[in-house]
Amino acid sequence: MSTIAATEFLPLVATAGAARDFFVISLHDVAPSTQPIANTIISELANRGVRVCSLLVVPDYHHEGLFTRDGQFVSWLRGLDADGHEIVIHGYFHERPRRAKENLRDRFLTRFYTEDEGEFYDLTYDEALRRIVAARDEFRAHGLKPRGFVAPAWLLGGEAERAARDAQMEYTTRLRAVCDLRSGSVFPARTLVYSVRNGWRRGVSRLWNATLFRLLNGSSLLRISIHPSDYSHPAIWRQIAAFIEELVESRTATTYQEWIAEQRLRRGSEI
């Protein structure tokens, strides 16, 4: 579903979610080079009852080339958008060059936590605004109207968050929250996410997410973040599939855009 103003889809969201809590599946790092596996994942989700998800699209993934140069990819995105999936801006390059004399915290977050992909971790306001506006305008020029911006690895610095708001983005997400950039509301909602770089990370991820899934199952919004590489590891994908099969029995699959609209509607009715 695509919209200009949030109010255009409020009644539909309120009706769909009246009797259930929600879950959002977000598929990260969508780009021409990841399209085949992303398409497979979307089909697998549909087979398990997930009709819509939020697709985090990188405009120029790792400097491989601007997505708009691939007409087939753009047409594919348009088709998914028409089917009700949400297109989200996910950084611009999804890369962050290493800086000289970085402190221990910066090195941990940008090199160990994520492999040099924390693009918006410490960008200046001007550069962050330039990249987000460029991405926004490129999507719009090709018939897509993304309302959300999500930084790679959720590493969004304060100046970059201000830039996202000034670029007219409706919301962003973090590892532990969904943030309405228009109202300033922050909704605690931790996401399940996997690290698959090596065997010990995959093992820890499965144990941690199994525990986290049970702890979070009473929350009104449950989030699962999927990366294309997750599908290449059978044990990881089996666990994700099992979670989803359980969720579709008691929750409504939605997108971040729709979920934010629902929260605005509820808050408006309380005023």
Percent share of the chain, pLDDT over 70 = 85
pLDDT confidence bin for 96, thresholds 50/70/90: low
Q: Is 180 domain-assigned?
A: yes
- Whether 167 maps to a domain, the answer reads yes
Domain of 140, in residue numbers: 6-270
**Residue 1 pLDDT exceeds 80:** no
Residue 103: Cβ-neighbour burial (10 angstroms; 0-12, 13-18, 19+): exposed
Among 80-84, 92-96, 266-270, where is mean pLDDT lowest?
Answer: 266-270
- For the ranges 49-53, 151-155, 208-212, which has the lowest average pLDDT? 151-155
Can you give the pLDDT at residue 5?
A: 37
What pLDDT, on a 0 to 100 scale, did the predictor assign at position 111? 63
DSSP SS3 for 25: strand
Distance CA 211, CA 241 (A): 16
Query: Phi-psi bin for 172: left (phi > 0), alpha (psi -120 to 50), beta?
Result: beta
DSSP summary character for residue 263 = H
What length is written for the chain?
Answer: 271
- 3-state SS, 78-117, equals HHHHHCCCEEEECCCCCCCCCCCCCCHHHHHHHHHHCCCC
Classify residue 189: in a domain, yes or no.
Answer: yes
Question: Which residues does residue 191 pair with via DSSP β-bridges, in sequence order?
Answer: 223
Does 13 have pLDDT greater than 80? no
- pLDDT, one tens digit per residue, over 156-212 is 999 999 999 999 999 999 999 999 999 999 999 999 999 998 899 899 999 999 999
**pLDDT greater than 50 at residue 249:** yes
> What pTM, to 2 d.p., does this model score?
0.87
Write b or e for each residue in 62-78: b if 16 or more Cβ atoms lie within 10 A of its Cβ, otherwise e. Answer: eeeeebeebeebbebbe
Q: What are phi and psi of 147, to 5 degrees?
A: -105, -15
Residue 1 lies in a domain: no
Q: Is residue 206 part of a domain?
A: yes
Q: 3-state class of 30 per DSSP?
A: strand
Q: Is residue 100 part of a domain?
A: yes
CB under 8 Å to 199, separation ≥6 — which residues? Answer: none
Per-residue pLDDT tens for 99-145?
A: 777 777 766 556 656 665 768 888 999 999 999 999 999 999 999 99
CATH number at residue 129: 3.20.20.370
Domain count of the fold of the chain: 1
The span from the first CA to the last CA of the chain, in angstroms, equals 27
